[in-house]
Homo-oligomer: A and B are copies of this chain.
Amino acid sequence: MKRTEGFQPISQESTPALIAAQLRSLISKGSMAPGAQLVEMDIAGALGVSRGPIREAIQRLTQEGLLVSIRNRGVFVAEFGEADIRDIYEARTAVEKAAAGLLVEGDHSSAGAELLVKVDDMEAARAKSNSEAMSEADVAFHERLVAMAASPRLSRMHGTLLTETRMCLNRLEGRYLDESVRVAEHRHIAEALKDGKTELLMKLLDAHKDDALARLLTEKPSAATLQTA
Protein backbone atom coordinates (compact mmCIF):
# COMPACT_ATOMS: atom_id res chain seq x y z
CA MET A 1 0.00 0.00 0.00
CA LYS A 2 1.35 3.36 -1.04
CA ARG A 3 1.96 5.59 1.98
CA THR A 4 0.12 8.56 0.54
CA GLU A 5 -2.96 6.69 -0.51
CA GLY A 6 -6.13 8.36 0.66
CA PHE A 7 -4.55 11.83 0.74
CA GLN A 8 -5.85 14.56 -1.46
CA PRO A 9 -3.75 17.43 -2.79
CA ILE A 10 -4.44 20.65 -0.95
CA SER A 11 -5.19 23.62 -3.07
CA GLN A 12 -5.62 27.03 -1.53
CA GLU A 13 -7.58 29.70 -3.27
CA SER A 14 -5.78 33.00 -3.62
CA THR A 15 -6.92 35.94 -1.50
CA PRO A 16 -7.85 38.08 -4.51
CA ALA A 17 -9.93 35.24 -5.93
CA LEU A 18 -11.80 34.89 -2.64
CA ILE A 19 -12.40 38.61 -2.44
CA ALA A 20 -13.54 38.71 -6.07
CA ALA A 21 -16.02 35.93 -5.44
CA GLN A 22 -17.49 37.79 -2.51
CA LEU A 23 -17.73 41.02 -4.42
CA ARG A 24 -19.24 39.22 -7.41
CA SER A 25 -21.92 37.79 -5.18
CA LEU A 26 -22.75 41.16 -3.67
CA ILE A 27 -22.91 42.72 -7.13
CA SER A 28 -25.03 39.86 -8.40
CA LYS A 29 -27.51 40.24 -5.54
CA GLY A 30 -27.76 43.98 -6.03
CA SER A 31 -26.27 44.75 -2.63
CA MET A 32 -23.81 46.81 -4.60
CA ALA A 33 -25.97 48.72 -7.03
CA PRO A 34 -25.06 49.55 -10.63
CA GLY A 35 -23.19 52.84 -10.69
CA ALA A 36 -22.04 52.49 -7.10
CA GLN A 37 -18.39 53.21 -6.39
CA LEU A 38 -16.21 50.63 -4.72
CA VAL A 39 -13.95 52.31 -2.21
CA GLU A 40 -10.85 50.21 -1.64
CA MET A 41 -10.25 51.38 1.92
CA ASP A 42 -13.82 50.61 2.94
CA ILE A 43 -13.70 47.10 1.54
CA ALA A 44 -10.22 46.50 2.94
CA GLY A 45 -11.41 47.58 6.38
CA ALA A 46 -14.51 45.38 6.16
CA LEU A 47 -12.52 42.32 5.09
CA GLY A 48 -9.52 42.94 7.35
CA VAL A 49 -6.91 42.95 4.59
CA SER A 50 -4.76 45.56 2.96
CA ARG A 51 -5.69 47.39 -0.21
CA GLY A 52 -3.36 45.34 -2.38
CA PRO A 53 -5.47 42.19 -2.64
CA ILE A 54 -8.59 44.33 -2.96
CA ARG A 55 -7.11 46.02 -6.01
CA GLU A 56 -6.20 42.65 -7.43
CA ALA A 57 -9.73 41.33 -6.94
CA ILE A 58 -11.10 44.44 -8.57
CA GLN A 59 -8.95 43.77 -11.63
CA ARG A 60 -10.56 40.38 -11.97
CA LEU A 61 -14.07 41.78 -11.93
CA THR A 62 -13.08 44.59 -14.24
CA GLN A 63 -11.75 42.09 -16.74
CA GLU A 64 -15.02 40.23 -16.41
CA GLY A 65 -17.00 43.33 -17.23
CA LEU A 66 -18.87 43.60 -13.95
CA LEU A 67 -16.91 46.66 -12.83
CA VAL A 68 -15.82 49.72 -14.75
CA SER A 69 -12.51 51.26 -13.77
CA ILE A 70 -11.72 54.90 -14.50
CA ARG A 71 -8.12 55.85 -13.83
CA ASN A 72 -7.62 58.15 -10.85
CA ARG A 73 -11.34 58.35 -10.25
CA GLY A 74 -12.29 54.94 -9.04
CA VAL A 75 -14.08 51.76 -9.82
CA PHE A 76 -17.83 51.51 -10.30
CA VAL A 77 -20.33 48.73 -10.65
CA ALA A 78 -21.21 48.46 -14.32
CA GLU A 79 -24.50 49.91 -15.47
CA PHE A 80 -26.46 48.34 -18.28
CA GLY A 81 -28.89 50.06 -20.60
CA GLU A 82 -31.35 48.59 -23.03
CA ALA A 83 -28.68 47.71 -25.58
CA ASP A 84 -26.73 45.86 -22.93
CA ILE A 85 -29.76 43.89 -21.86
CA ARG A 86 -30.33 42.84 -25.44
CA ASP A 87 -26.69 41.94 -25.83
CA ILE A 88 -26.66 39.89 -22.65
CA TYR A 89 -29.68 37.89 -23.72
CA GLU A 90 -28.36 37.37 -27.24
CA ALA A 91 -25.06 36.14 -25.88
CA ARG A 92 -26.73 33.95 -23.30
CA THR A 93 -28.93 32.36 -25.88
CA ALA A 94 -25.92 31.68 -28.07
CA VAL A 95 -24.21 29.88 -25.22
CA GLU A 96 -27.34 28.02 -24.17
CA LYS A 97 -28.06 26.90 -27.70
CA ALA A 98 -24.52 25.63 -28.09
CA ALA A 99 -24.79 23.76 -24.82
CA ALA A 100 -28.15 22.33 -25.86
CA GLY A 101 -26.62 21.24 -29.16
CA LEU A 102 -23.92 19.32 -27.32
CA LEU A 103 -26.45 17.76 -24.96
CA VAL A 104 -28.66 16.55 -27.78
CA GLU A 105 -25.69 14.66 -29.19
CA GLY A 106 -25.27 12.79 -25.93
CA ASP A 107 -27.70 11.28 -23.49
CA HIS A 108 -30.34 13.90 -24.09
CA SER A 109 -32.95 11.81 -22.34
CA SER A 110 -31.41 12.03 -18.88
CA ALA A 111 -30.25 15.60 -19.48
CA GLY A 112 -33.85 16.53 -20.20
CA ALA A 113 -35.01 14.63 -17.18
CA GLU A 114 -32.59 16.55 -15.02
CA LEU A 115 -33.92 19.83 -16.35
CA LEU A 116 -37.44 18.72 -15.62
CA VAL A 117 -36.42 18.43 -11.99
CA LYS A 118 -35.45 22.09 -12.12
CA VAL A 119 -38.84 22.86 -13.69
CA ASP A 120 -40.47 21.09 -10.77
CA ASP A 121 -38.56 23.43 -8.46
CA MET A 122 -40.01 26.32 -10.41
CA GLU A 123 -43.48 24.81 -10.15
CA ALA A 124 -43.08 24.42 -6.40
CA ALA A 125 -42.05 28.06 -6.10
CA ARG A 126 -45.03 29.09 -8.19
CA ALA A 127 -47.36 27.12 -5.97
CA LYS A 128 -46.00 28.99 -2.94
CA SER A 129 -46.11 32.36 -4.72
CA ASN A 130 -42.44 32.70 -3.72
CA SER A 131 -41.07 34.97 -6.42
CA GLU A 132 -37.56 34.95 -5.06
CA ALA A 133 -37.43 31.17 -5.15
CA MET A 134 -38.92 31.29 -8.63
CA SER A 135 -36.16 33.59 -9.84
CA GLU A 136 -33.54 31.39 -8.31
CA ALA A 137 -35.06 28.26 -9.80
CA ASP A 138 -35.28 29.95 -13.19
CA VAL A 139 -31.60 30.86 -13.10
CA ALA A 140 -30.72 27.41 -11.80
CA PHE A 141 -32.48 25.88 -14.81
CA HIS A 142 -30.35 27.83 -17.23
CA GLU A 143 -27.23 27.27 -15.22
CA ARG A 144 -27.78 23.53 -15.19
CA LEU A 145 -28.57 23.47 -18.88
CA VAL A 146 -25.13 24.81 -19.67
CA ALA A 147 -23.28 22.98 -16.91
CA MET A 148 -24.48 19.61 -18.19
CA ALA A 149 -22.75 20.26 -21.49
CA ALA A 150 -19.45 19.92 -19.57
CA SER A 151 -17.80 22.66 -21.59
CA PRO A 152 -15.54 24.76 -19.38
CA ARG A 153 -15.63 27.70 -21.75
CA LEU A 154 -19.37 27.75 -22.28
CA SER A 155 -19.81 27.54 -18.50
CA ARG A 156 -17.34 30.32 -17.85
CA MET A 157 -18.94 32.65 -20.35
CA HIS A 158 -22.40 31.74 -19.12
CA GLY A 159 -21.45 32.41 -15.51
CA THR A 160 -20.57 35.99 -16.28
CA LEU A 161 -23.66 36.44 -18.41
CA LEU A 162 -25.86 35.14 -15.62
CA THR A 163 -24.31 37.57 -13.18
CA GLU A 164 -24.99 40.34 -15.66
CA THR A 165 -28.53 39.07 -16.05
CA ARG A 166 -29.12 39.22 -12.34
CA MET A 167 -27.75 42.75 -12.22
CA CYS A 168 -30.26 43.79 -14.87
CA LEU A 169 -33.16 42.09 -13.17
CA ASN A 170 -32.30 43.61 -9.80
CA ARG A 171 -33.12 47.03 -11.23
CA LEU A 172 -36.62 46.21 -12.35
CA GLU A 173 -39.45 46.76 -9.96
CA GLY A 174 -42.87 45.29 -10.00
CA ARG A 175 -42.01 42.13 -11.77
CA TYR A 176 -45.06 40.02 -12.01
CA LEU A 177 -45.75 37.17 -14.30
CA ASP A 178 -48.29 34.64 -15.05
CA GLU A 179 -45.93 32.20 -13.50
CA SER A 180 -47.58 29.17 -14.97
CA VAL A 181 -46.65 30.40 -18.45
CA ARG A 182 -43.12 30.84 -17.25
CA VAL A 183 -42.98 27.33 -15.86
CA ALA A 184 -44.51 25.96 -19.05
CA GLU A 185 -41.89 27.63 -21.24
CA HIS A 186 -39.13 25.99 -19.31
CA ARG A 187 -40.92 22.67 -19.32
CA HIS A 188 -41.23 22.74 -23.11
CA ILE A 189 -37.50 23.38 -23.39
CA ALA A 190 -36.68 20.52 -21.05
CA GLU A 191 -39.01 18.19 -22.91
CA ALA A 192 -37.59 19.09 -26.30
CA LEU A 193 -34.16 18.30 -24.93
CA LYS A 194 -35.38 15.06 -23.40
CA ASP A 195 -36.87 14.00 -26.73
CA GLY A 196 -33.79 15.02 -28.68
CA LYS A 197 -35.70 17.43 -30.89
CA THR A 198 -32.89 19.72 -31.91
CA GLU A 199 -34.75 22.14 -34.13
CA LEU A 200 -37.65 22.57 -31.75
CA LEU A 201 -35.19 23.06 -28.89
CA MET A 202 -33.38 25.84 -30.73
CA LYS A 203 -36.64 27.51 -31.66
CA LEU A 204 -37.84 27.35 -28.07
CA LEU A 205 -34.61 28.86 -26.75
CA ASP A 206 -34.87 31.68 -29.27
CA ALA A 207 -38.52 32.26 -28.44
CA HIS A 208 -37.67 32.23 -24.74
CA LYS A 209 -35.12 34.98 -25.36
CA ASP A 210 -37.49 37.05 -27.49
CA ASP A 211 -40.14 36.67 -24.82
CA ALA A 212 -37.81 37.83 -22.09
CA LEU A 213 -36.60 40.81 -24.09
CA ALA A 214 -40.10 41.88 -24.98
CA ARG A 215 -41.08 41.86 -21.36
CA LEU A 216 -37.93 43.37 -19.92
CA LEU A 217 -37.80 46.20 -22.40
CA THR A 218 -41.39 47.27 -22.13
CA GLU A 219 -41.20 51.03 -21.86
CA LYS A 220 -43.49 51.50 -18.85
CA PRO A 221 -43.17 48.68 -16.42
CA SER A 222 -46.59 48.00 -15.10
CA ALA A 223 -48.05 45.53 -12.73
CA ALA A 224 -48.44 43.28 -15.72
CA THR A 225 -44.77 43.48 -16.66
CA LEU A 226 -43.40 40.04 -16.96
CA GLN A 227 -40.10 38.68 -15.97
CA THR A 228 -38.17 35.62 -16.90
CA ALA A 229 -34.51 34.79 -16.77
Contact = CB atoms under 8 A, between A and B. Distances in A.
A72 interface: yes
Interface string A156-179: 110001000000000000000000
B91 A12 contact: no
B153 A69 contact: no
Nearest to A57: B59
Contacts of A55: 52, 56
Interface string A135-161: 000000000000000011110110001
A208 to B, nearest CB: 15
Given A62-B60, A94-B98, A151 B13 contact: no
A190 B121 CA distance: 45
A60 B152 CA distance: 18
Contacts of A8: none
A90 B154 contact: yes
Contacts of A63: 20, 59-61, 63-64
A128 interface: no
A59 B67 CA distance: 14
A2 interface: no
So how many copies of this chain end up in the complex?
2
The A interface is mostly helix, strand or loop, or mixed, namely helix
Interface residues of A, number: 40
A97 interface: yes
A100 to B, nearest CB: 10
B59 A16 contact: yes
Contact of A65 (B52, B97, B154, B156): B156
A95 interface: yes
A153 B59 contact: no
A90 B94 contact: no
A197 B134 CA distance: 39
13 contacts: A12-B72, A17-B69, A52-B55, A55-B56, A60-B60, A87-B151, A87-B154, A88-B153, A90-B151, A94-B94, A94-B95, A94-B97, A153-B161
Interface of A: 11-14, 16-17, 20, 52, 55-57, 59-65, 69-72, 84, 87-88, 90-91, 93-95, 97-98, 102, 151-154, 156-157, 161
